[in-house]
Amino acid sequence: DARVTQTPRHKVTEMGQEVTMRCQPILGHNTVFWYRQTMMQGLELLAYFRNRAPLDDSGMPKDRFSAEMPDATLATLKIQPSEPRDSAVYFCASGLVNRETQYFGPGTRLLVL
């Protein structure tokens, strides 16, 4: 049963610390998405990769967030330095070329104190 995996599932950290979230997309999928979900804003797209190349990161605060795909089996999202307003659930999703069908991971629940 192929699925997207994310680590860690939960992260509690203090303001100013670096946070790294990892995602393993479904084997064979060539698109990867990072989303942030909060009660107030709902699902927000942070970054989008196709064939490991970043195509859209317009939703990501550039001064503190960065997203990379060092290889086809790993996507990372980093926050440095973290702030309390970054507290949210971060989802990774993967899919094939078309954007419409995306398969989500279980999410990383981040709390920044």
Query: Using CB under 8 A as the criterion, which residues of the chain lie in contact with other proteins when the complex forms?
Result: 4, 42-43, 45, 48, 56, 91, 93, 97-107, 109
Distance CA 2, CA 80 (A): 31
- Smallest separation (angstroms) from other proteins to the CB of 71: 22
Distance CA 26, CA 17 (A): 30
The position carrying tokens 């709902």 is 42
Nearer to other proteins, 27 or 97 (CB): 97
Nearer to other proteins, 62 or 98 (CB): 98
- Smallest separation (angstroms) from other proteins to the CB of 58: 9
Nearer to other proteins, 12 or 43 (CB): 43
Structure tokens at 95: 């899919």
Distance CA 48, CA 54 (A): 6
Nearer to other proteins, 3 or 85 (CB): 3
Residue 19 · residue 79 · CB < 8 Å: yes
- Smallest separation (angstroms) from other proteins to the CB of 100: 5
- Smallest separation (angstroms) from other proteins to the CB of 60: 13
